Structures are given as structure tokens and as C-alpha cells.
């Protein structure tokens, strides 16, 4: 069969988990919520909520050995709830995410090209102008790079689990790790390294509020690729003797480690050049290029490596976002892999164009709804509503609909921790997510 090897599975799942979320998003939310205290809450959430759900979703994949819709359908039939199959439609969350994820990967590719060609900006205002000009005016360039990103992604999805996805991850993930370690070692040479270290690891309790907690929960889903059938789909192709909980621990460990390394690198550079830690999403595209400029020639190398690592992290996540829906078309509609890949790829690519237009000066209004650009709507809806919703479903299905016999594997692996895990999946995870969603929807304000 076309299964992952054990190592390949772990690497591909780490590849899925480590994405733009780790290198781009984690540092800026950490900055916003004051550093160390947020990191602590984040680690606690990952351990308590993220890990439980990661094991649950991996287990569902292992159990079902099929696409998400079929897996949920089978559990539904056993429990006389045939409509449970619709839960499997969470695979489309990945396609919705891809509409903007691919655009961002396109920006990164453009930045690699641009910084090699025209150099780096010498001040924040120039950098700001560059970025605003890209998203506000350069529609064709963005579409071009969004298309390039799409072609690369589809090429590997079309290769299938073994020849495409496993190969891509086997090459890119070690390389990513190597580059980030190199950049980390380079950051040691700056005086500001210790400041960055303190910022990340010294808790400032006064800055910690319930909003930080909500952000931490939301981010733990996104960063572990939970709630869109990605983990479920990858886990459907694992070797039989896989240890689910060990794999989940490794994935969680590497995901967190890479986020922290990225944070250390970024904050060291920010502090070295007197920039504020809470720079928002523009961090990577505005502050970092200016910092790299100040480093002279090393800066160009540094910048290229940094952008490459971002692109690699993004690509390995992107294939994992597309694969679940592709497998569904293959299994349920008898599509060939090629046809399924093109179909899903075209779908997100096409909507992605409107996401691009929604940020443009000329067409922005046309593609904004409720005063928000389509790009942001796609991001917020998935991040804050669809992923948590799917998370609850996964938790409930595993906790209440899967039989005790079937759970034996997890029980054997977890030993004395099994009861804690079950409690977490049954009670803690659903309550935490419910809280998160009500808060996002504005029903409660913490
Ligand atoms: N985990 C990825 C990140 O942190 C994003 C992602 C979400 C990838 C869901 C796959 C599935 O960027």
C-alpha cells in the first residue's frame, strides 16, 4: 500500500503543524500579549487541549483508515447516526484556509525574488510602502506568485502520500530545521539575545488576560493543524505498529520548539534594532526586511534563508491542507488523483484571487463584506469558528461514540494517563472550545 513509513508520518505531520503559524503568527501574538506569560499559557493549552485533541484526531484516522467523510460515516452507522458523515466535511476547512494561505506563500516567494533583485528597504516607511504597494496595487504580481505557489503545492499533492508528500517533507523539514538552527546560532552573537530570551520566558502576569487565553486556544488548534481532517487523513496511512501518543508527543514537541526558536530569532533582531515586539502581522514583511538591511551583506543571506524557511514551512503545511479533500474525491467520487488535485487546486486558487482583490485599492470595496475584506473574513471564519467547531465534534465523537474496545490501543499506550486524556476529551476540550466560540461570536465577553 501507499502508506507512510513511521518516520515519514511523523515528519509529514510535523511538516503540517510547523507552518506560517509558527514562524509568522506565534511571535506576533506573543509580542501582543507581553511575552513570557503568554508563552506559558500557550504551552499549558497545547499540553492540555492541543495534545488531547491531537491524539483523538490521529486515533480517528488510524481507526477509519479512510478519508474523513467515510470515517465519520462509518462511526455514525455503527451508532445509528448516519448523518454524522457530514462532520467529515471539515476537510473543506483546509480548502478555505488555502485560499489565503497560498496567497501568503505567494508573497513570501515574491519577497525572495524581490529582495535578491532590488535589495532590502532601508527604513520602516519604505518597507511599509513596499508591502502596502504589493497588496494594494500589484494584483497581477500577487496572482502570478499565488499561481506559482499553487503549482508547486499541486505537484506534490499529485504525487500522493509516498511519492509526493513524504518526499517533500523528507527534504524540506530537515532543511528547515537546519536553517533555523543556523539562524538561532547566529542570533547568539547579538547582545540582545538575552533580552529576547527574558522576553519569551519571563512571565509578566499583569499582562495576562482572558483574551490571551482565548488566543492561545485558537492558536493551538491552528498550529497543530487540528479540526480540518488533516491529521485524520495523514493518520489513515500510518503503518500498523505506529505508537499514536508517542507520535503526537513528538509532533507537539517539534511544533512548539520551532515556534520558540523562531520567536528567539525574531525578537533578538527586533530588540537589537530597537523595534517594538508587538508589531502585528506586518512583522515578517515590514520590520524584518529593514532589520536585514542593517546587517549589510549578511542581511541579504540572512533574509533569503529566513524567507526560504518560511516558504518551506508554508509549503509542507499547504500540501496537508489540500490532501484531505483530494482523498475524499478519490474515494467517494472515483476521481483519479490528478483530476482530484486539479479540481481542489483550482477551487482554492480561484477564490484566492478574490482574496487578493479584497486587499486592493481599486477593488477592495467590491470584495469586502460587513466592512471587512474577504481575505480577513476567510481567515477569521476558519480560525475562530470552523476549526473550533470541528474540534468539538472530534472530541465528542471520540469520547462518546467510539467503543471502549476500539479505544484499547490508546488506553494501552497512555497507561495511567488514559483517564486524564479521556477526561480532557470529554470535558475540558469541549468546554474550552465552547468558551472560545461564544467569546468570538460576542455572546460572552470575558
Ligand atoms: N499548522 C499550520 C501552521 O501553523 C497551518 C495548518 C493548519 C496546516 C491546518 C495544515 C492544516 O501554519
pLDDT band at 278 (very low <50, low <70, confident <90, very high): low
292 CA distance to ligand 1 middle (Å): 27
Q: Ligand 1 mean position to 395 CA, how many Å?
A: 19
> Which is more confident, 281 or 78?
78
- Which pLDDT band, with edges at 50, 70 and 90, does 445 fall under? low
Give residue 21 CA to ligand 1 midpoint distance, Å: 7
316 alpha carbon – ligand 1 mean position (Å): 9
Report the atom number in ligand 1 closest to the C-alpha of 317: 8
362 CB-contact burial (10 Å; exposed 0-12 / middle 13-18 / buried 19+): exposed
Return the closest-CA partner of residue 446 out of 213, 220, 204: 213
> To 5 degrees, how large is the angle CA 204–CA 207–CA 213?
105
Mean pLDDT of the chain: 87
Average the pLDDT over each of 224-228, 260-264, 271-275, 353-357 and give the range with the smallest value.
271-275
Is any atom of ligand 1 closer than 6 Å to the C-beta of 227? Answer: no
Cβ of 321 below 6 Å from ligand 1: yes
Tell me how far the alpha carbon of residue 311 lies from the centroid of ligand 1, in angstroms. Answer: 13
Do 105 and 352 touch, CB atoms closer than 8 A? no
Q: Specify the pTM.
A: 0.90
Q: Give the pLDDT band (50/70/90) at residue 444.
A: low
Cα 415 to Cα 298: distance, rounded to the nearest angstrom: 51
Cα 415 to averaged position of ligand 1 atoms, centre (Å): 30
- Nearest protein Cα to ligand 1, atom 9: 225
What does the pLDDT look like over 182-217, one tens digit per residue?
Answer: 889 988 888 889 988 988 888 777 777 777 787 788
Question: Is 317 close to ligand 1, i.e. is its CB under 6 Å away?
Answer: yes
What is the rounded distance in angstroms from the CA atom of residue 140 to the CA atom of residue 138?
6
Indicate the pLDDT class of residue 424, thresholds 50, 70 and 90.
Answer: very high
Specify the DSSP element, H or E, that contains 373.
Answer: strand 372-373
Q: Which atom of ligand 1 is nearest to the CA of 225?
A: 9
What atom of ligand 1 comes closest to residue 19's alpha carbon?
12
Q: Are 388 and 433 in contact (CB under 8 A)?
A: yes
Q: Is 19 in the pocket of ligand 1 (CB under 6 A)?
A: yes
Which residue in the block uniquely carries the three cell numbers 535578491? 116
pLDDT (mean) for 83-104: 92
Least confident of 74-83, 314-323, 425-434, 436-445: 436-445
Q: Where are the alpha helices (DSSP H) in 119-162?
A: 124-137, 139-158, 160
Distance 298 CA to ligand 1 centre (A): 30
**Mean pLDDT to the nearest integer, 84-103:** 92
The atom of ligand 1 lying closest to the CA of 387 is 9
Q: What is the pLDDT of residue 261?
A: 92
Pocket test for ligand 1, best of 14, 15, 16, 319 (most atoms within 8 A of CB): 16
Q: Tell me which of 283 and 88 has the higher pLDDT.
A: 88
143-147, 260-264, 268-272, range with greatest mean pLDDT = 143-147
Q: Which atom of ligand 1 is nearest to the CA of 226?
A: 9
292-296: average pLDDT: 83
Asked whether 238 lines ligand 1 (CB < 6 A), one says: no
Tell which wins on pLDDT, 182 or 54. 54
Question: What residue's CA is closest to ligand 1, atom 8?
Answer: 317
**Cell digits for 346?**
483550482
Model confidence at 353: pLDDT above 90: yes
Mutate to test the pocket of ligand 1, among 317, 323, 379 (most ligand atoms within 8 A of CB): 317
Q: In the prediction, which pLDDT does 84 show?
A: 84
Ligand 1 in contact with 20 (CB < 6 A)?
A: yes
If you take atom 7 of ligand 1, which residue's CA is the nearest one? 225
State the closest ligand 1 atom to the C-alpha of 227, by its place in the atom list counted from 1: 9
- Work out the average pLDDT over 307-334: 92
CA-proximal residue: ligand 1, atom 6 (nearest): 225
Best mutation site among 229, 233, 320 for ligand 1 pocket (most ligand atoms within 8 Å of CB): 320
> Is residue 148 exposed (0-12), middle (13-18) or buried (19+ Cβ within 10 Å)?
middle
**424 CB less than 6 Å from ligand 1?**
no
Ligand 1 in reach of 320 Cβ (< 6 A): yes
Residue of the nearest CA to atom 11 in ligand 1? 225
Pairwise CA distance, residues 17 & 230, whole Å: 10
- pLDDT higher for 369 or 421? 421
**Separation of CA 206 and ligand 1 centre (Å):** 30
Please state the atom number of ligand 1 nearest to the C-alpha of residue 313.
Answer: 12
pLDDT at 200: 86
Secondary structure (3-state) at 372? strand
pLDDT, average across residues 275-280? 65
CA atoms within 13 A on the CB side of 225: 36
pLDDT at residue 292, as a whole number: 85
Across the range 337-350, mean pLDDT stands at: 96
What pLDDT, on the 0 to 100 scale, is given for residue 426? 92
Q: What's the gap in Å between 164 CA and the centre of ligand 1?
A: 18
Amino acid at each position: 500500500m501507499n502508506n507512510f513509513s513511521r518516520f515519514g508520518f511523523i515528519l509529514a505531520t510535523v511538516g503540517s503543524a510547523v507552518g506560517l503559524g509558527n514562524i509568522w503568527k506565534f511571535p506576533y501574538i506573543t509580542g501582543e500579549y507581553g511575552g513570557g506569560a503568554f508563552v506559558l499559557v500557550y504551552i499549558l493549552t497545547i499540553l492540555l487541549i492541543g495534545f488531547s485533541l491531537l491524539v483523538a484526531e490521529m486515533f480517528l484516522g488510524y481507526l477509519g483508515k479512510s478519508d474523513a467523510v467515510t470515517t465519520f460515516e462509518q462511526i455514525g452507522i455503527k451508532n445509528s447516526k448516519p448523518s454524522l458523515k457530514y462532520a467529515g466535511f471539515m476537510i473543506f476547512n483546509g480548502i478555505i484556509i488555502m485560499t489565503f494561505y497560498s496567497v501568503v506563500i505567494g508573497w513570501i516567494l515574491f519577497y525572495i525574488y524581490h529582495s535578491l533583485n532590488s535589495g532590502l528597504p532601508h527604513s520602516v516607511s519604505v518597507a511599509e510602502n513596499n508591502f502596502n504597494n504589493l497588496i494594494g496595487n500589484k494584483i497581477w504580481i500577487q496572482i502570478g506568485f499565488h499561481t506559482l505557489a499553487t503549482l508547486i503545492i499541486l505537484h506534490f499533492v499529485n504525487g500522493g502520500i509516498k511519492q509526493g508528500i513524504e518526499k517533500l517533507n523528507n527534504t524540506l523539514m530537515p532543511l528547515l530545521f537546519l536553517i533555523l538552527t543556523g539562524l538561532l546560532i547566529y542570533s547568539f552573537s547579538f547582545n540582545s539575545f538575552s533580552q529576547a530570551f527574558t522576553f519569551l520566558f519571563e512571565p509578566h502576569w499583569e499582562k495576562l488576560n482572558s483574551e490571551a487565553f482565548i488566543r492561545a486556544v485558537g492558536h493551538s488548534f491552528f498550529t497543530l493543524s487540528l479540526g480540518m481532517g488533516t491529521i485524520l487523513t495523514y493518520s489513515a496511512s500510518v503503518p500498523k505498529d505506529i505508537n499514536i501518543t508517542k507520535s503526537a508527543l513528538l509532533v507537539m514537541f517539534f511544533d512548539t520548539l520551532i515556534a520558540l526558536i523562531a520567536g528567539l530569532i525574531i525578537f533578538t533582531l527586533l530588540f537589537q534594532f530597537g523595534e517594538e515586539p508587538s508589531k502585528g502581522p506586518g512583522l515578517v514583511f515590514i520590520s524584518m526586511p529593514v532589520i536585514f538591511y542593517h546587517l549589510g551583506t549578511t542581511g541579504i543571506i540572512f533574509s533569503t534563508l529566513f524567507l526560504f524557511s518560511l516558504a518551506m514551512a508554508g509549503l509542507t503545511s499547504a500540501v496537508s491542507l489540500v490532501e484531505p479533500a483530494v482523498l475524499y474525491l478519490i474515494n467517494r467520487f472515483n476521481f483519479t488523483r490528478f483530476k482530484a488535485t486539479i479540481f481542489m487546486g483550482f477551487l482554492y486558487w480561484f477564490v484566492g484571487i478574490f482574496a487578493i482583490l479584497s486587499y486592493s485599492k481599486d477593488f477592495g470595496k467590491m470584495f469586502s463584506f460587513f466592512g471587512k475584506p474577504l481575505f480577513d473574513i476567510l481567515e477569521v471564519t476558519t480560525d475562530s469558528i470552523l476549526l473550533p467547531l470541528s474540534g468539538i465534534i472530534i472530541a465528542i465523537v471520540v469520547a462518546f461514540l467510539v467503543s471502549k474496545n476500539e479505544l484499547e490501543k490508546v488506553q494501552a499506550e497512555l497507561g495511567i494517563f488514559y483517564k486524564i486524556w479521556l477526561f480532557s476529551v470529554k470535558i475540558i476540550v469541549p468546554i474550552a472550545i465552547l468558551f472560545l466560540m461564544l467569546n468570538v461570536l460576542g455572546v460572552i465577553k470575558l
